[in-house]
Structure 1
Amino acid sequence: MPRNLKTYPTLNADVLVIGSGAAGMATALALAPLNVLLVTKTEGLVGGSTAHAQGGIATVFAKGDTPALHADDTHFAGAGLTDKAAVNHLTTEGSKVVEQLLALWMPFDRDAKGNILVGLEAAHSMARIVHAGGDATGWHLSQTLAAAVEKARHIQVVSNTHIAELVKKNGKLTGAWGFNTQDGWLKLQAANVVLATGGAGQMFSHTTNPAASTGDGIALAYEAGATLADLEFVQFHPTSLAVKTPDGKQPLLTEALRGSGGKLVNKNGERFMLNLHKDAELAPRDVVARGVWAELAADRTPYLDVRHIANVETKFPTVTRLCAEYGLTPATDLLPVAPAAHYYMGGVRTDLAGKTDVPGLWAVGEVAVTGVHGANRLASNSLLECLVFAKSAATDIKQIEKQNVKIGTTPPRLTLVKHAAATKQNLRDTMYKSAGLVREKQGLENGIQKLATLQNLPALIATGDDIPQAIELHNLMTLAPLVLTAALARTESRGGHMRSDYPTTQSTHKKSILINKLQSTSKVEKEGVYRNETAA
Structure 2
Amino acid sequence: MIKADVVIIGSGLASLMAADILSVTKNVIIITKSSVTDSNSVLAQGGIAAAISGDDDWRDHFFDTIRAGCYHNDETMTEFLVRQGPSVIDSLINKGIDFDRCKDGSYALGKEGAHSRRRILHSGGDATGKELVMKLLARVKEKTTIIEHEFAIDILIQNRTCIGVYTKNSEERKTTYIAPSVILATGGIGQLYEVTSNSEQATGDGIAMAYRAGATIADMEFVQFHPTMLVKSSKGIGLVSEAVRGEGARIVTEKGDFLMAGKHPLEDLAPRDVVARAINEHLCKNELLYLDISNIEHFTTRFPSIATMCEKASIDLKHHRIPIAPGAHFMMGGVVTNEKGETSIPGLYAVGEVARTGVHGANRLASNSLLECVVFAAEIAKEILRKQQISSFFVPATEKATREIGHLPSELEIKEVMTKGVGIVRTRQSLKEALSWFTTYRFAMLHLKNFTTTLEQQKICNMLTVGYLIALAAWERTESRGGHYRTDYPNSHERKWKHKTIYFSGGSEKPLVTTNCQEKLSV
Normalised-by-shorter TM-score class: over 0.9
Of 513, 516, 520, the residue aligned with 1:526 is 516
Give distance in 2, aligned partners of 1:176 and 1:433: 34
Question: What are the Cα deviations for residues 276-304 of structure 1, in whole angstroms up to 9, with x where unaligned?
Answer: 10100000000010111111123331111
For 1:36 and 1:460, locate their aligned partners in 2 and report how far apart those are by CA, in whole Å. Answer: 27
CA deviation string 1:123-144 (max 9, x = no partner): 0000000001111111111101
Question: Which amino acid letter does the alignment assign opposite residue 164 of structure 1?
Answer: I
Counterpart of 1:53 in structure 2 is 44
User: In the alignment, residue 323 of structure 2 is paired with which amino acid?
Assistant: P
1:262–1:309 contact (8 Å) kept in structure 2: yes
Residues 416, 460 of structure 1: 8 Å contact kept? no
3-state secondary structure, aligned to 1:144: helix
Q: Which residue of 1 aligns with 2:129?
A: 138
CA–CA distance in 2 between the matches of 1:403 and 1:65?
45
Alignment-derived partner of residue 94 in structure 1: 85
Shift of 1:150: 1.3
The two structures, once aligned, show a CA RMSD in angstroms of 2.2
Inter-partner Cα distance in structure 2 for 1:517 and 1:27 = 25
Aligned with residue 117 of structure 1, among 86, 108, 121: 108
SS at match of 2:434: helix
CA change 1:164–1:327 in 2 (3 A) is same
Q: Residue 139 of structure 2 aligns to which amino acid in structure 1?
A: A
Cα offset, 1:456, TM superposition: 7.1
User: Which residue, 467, 473, 480 being the options, matches 1:486?
Assistant: 473
Higher alpha-carbon deviation: 291-300 or 270-279:
291-300
- Matched residue of 2:454: which SS? helix
Change (3 A) 1:440 1:275: same
Which of the residues 445, 452, 470 maps onto 2:457? 470
* Long gaps (5+) in structure 1: 1-9
1:243 maps to which residue? 232
C-alpha separation in 2, matches of 1:117 and 1:368 = 30
Q: How does 1:277-288 map to 2 (within 5 A)?
A: 277-288=264-275
Identify the match of residue 372 of structure 2 among 378, 385, 393: 385
CA distance in 2, matches of 1:326, 1:452: 39
- Structure 1 counterpart of 2:181: 192
With structure 1 as the length reference, what TM-score do the two structures score?
Answer: 0.91
Residue in structure 2 matched with residue 7 of structure 1 by the alignment: none
Provide the secondary structure at the position in 1 that maps to 2:397.
coil
Q: Is the 1:228–1:348 contact (alpha carbons within 8 Å) kept by the matching residues of 2?
A: yes
Aligned mates of 1:334, 1:415 — CA distance in 2? 54
| 2:213/2:507 contact within 8 Å kept | no
Query: Which residue of the partner structure matches residue 28 of structure 2?
Result: 36
Aligned partners of 1:164 and 1:412 also within 8 Å: no
In 1, the alpha carbon distance for the partners of 2:186 and 2:232 equals 27
Summarize deviations over 1:351-402 as a string: whole Å, max 9, x none: 1111111111111000011110000000000000000000111111222212
What's the CA shift for 1:411? 7.4
- Structure 2: how far apart are the matches of 1:62 and 1:75? 20
Partner Cα distance (2:157, 2:309) in 1: 44
Q: How does 1:57-456 map to 2 (within 5 A)?
A: 57-151=48-142, 153=143, 155-181=144-170, 184-244=173-233, 250-404=237-391, 405-410=393-398, 413=401, 423-453=410-440
Contact 2:481 2:497 in 1 (8 A): no
Which of 508, 511, 533 is the matching residue for 2:500? Answer: 511
Q: 2:17 maps to which residue?
A: 26
SS of 2:239's equivalent in the other structure is coil
Q: Which amino acid aligns with 2:512?
A: S
Range moving further from structure 2, 398-407 or 223-232: 398-407
Provide, for residues 93-141 of structure 1, a one-character-per-residue CA deviation record: whole Å limited to 9, x for no partner. 1111211111122121112233221111110000000001111111111
User: Percent identity between the aligned chains?
Assistant: 37
Residue 415 of structure 1: CA displacement? Answer: 7.7
Amino acid at match of 1:526: N
C-alpha contact 2:38 2:199 (8 A) present in aligned 1: no
Whole-Å Cα distance in 1 between the matches of residues 20 and 519 of structure 2?
Answer: 33
Question: d(CA) in 2 for partners of 1:199 and 1:243?
Answer: 24
Q: Which amino acid aligns with 1:30?
A: I
User: Separation in 2 of the partners of 1:41 and 1:502?
Assistant: 40
Rounded to whole Å, the distance in 2 between the matches of 1:383 and 1:173 is: 27
**Equivalent residue letter for 1:38:** I
Checking the alignment, whether the CA contact within 8 Å between 2:426 and 2:486 is kept in structure 1 is: yes
The alpha carbon displacement at 1:249 in A equals: 5.1
Report if aligned partners of 1:15, 1:34 keep a CA contact under 8 Å in 2. yes
1:176, 1:407 within 8 Å by CA — same for their partners in 2?
no
Find the aligned partners of 1:415 and 1:238 in 2 and give their Cα distance.
Answer: 44
Between the aligned partners of 2:267 and 2:278, the Cα distance in structure 1 is 10
Which letter maps to 2:511?
T
Q: 1:192 to 1:415 in 2, by over 3 A?
A: farther
With the length of structure 2 as denominator, give the TM-score of the two structures. 0.94
Shift of 1:244: 4.1
3-state secondary structure, aligned to 2:281: helix
CA contact (8 A) 2:212 2:507 kept: no
Aligned-partner Cα distance in 2 for 1:326–1:414: 47
Distance of 1:122 and 1:508 partners within structure 2: 22
Whether the aligned pair in 2 keeps the contact of 1:205 and 1:429 (CA below 8 Å) is yes
The structure-2 alpha-carbon separation of the partners of 1:157 and 1:411, relative to structure 1 and needing over 3 Å to count, comes to farther
SS in 2 for 1:228: strand
How far is the alpha carbon of 1:489 from its aligned partner? 0.4
Q: Distance in 2 between matches of 1:66 and 1:249?
A: 37
Between the aligned partners of 1:412 and 1:64, the Cα distance in structure 2 is 62
Structure 2 residue ranges without an equivalent (≥5) = none
Offset at 1:183?
7.8
Deviations 1:193-223 (A, max 9, x none): 1111000001111111111001011001101
Q: CA deviation at 1:182?
A: 5.2
Distance across 2 between alignment mates of 1:189 and 1:515? 27
Alpha-carbon distance between aligned partners in 1 of 2:432 and 2:262, rounded to the nearest angstrom: 33
Q: Distance in 1 between matches of 2:180 and 2:497?
A: 40
Q: Which residue of 2 aligns with 1:3?
A: none
Preserved contact between residue 479 and residue 497 of structure 2 (Cα < 8 Å) = no
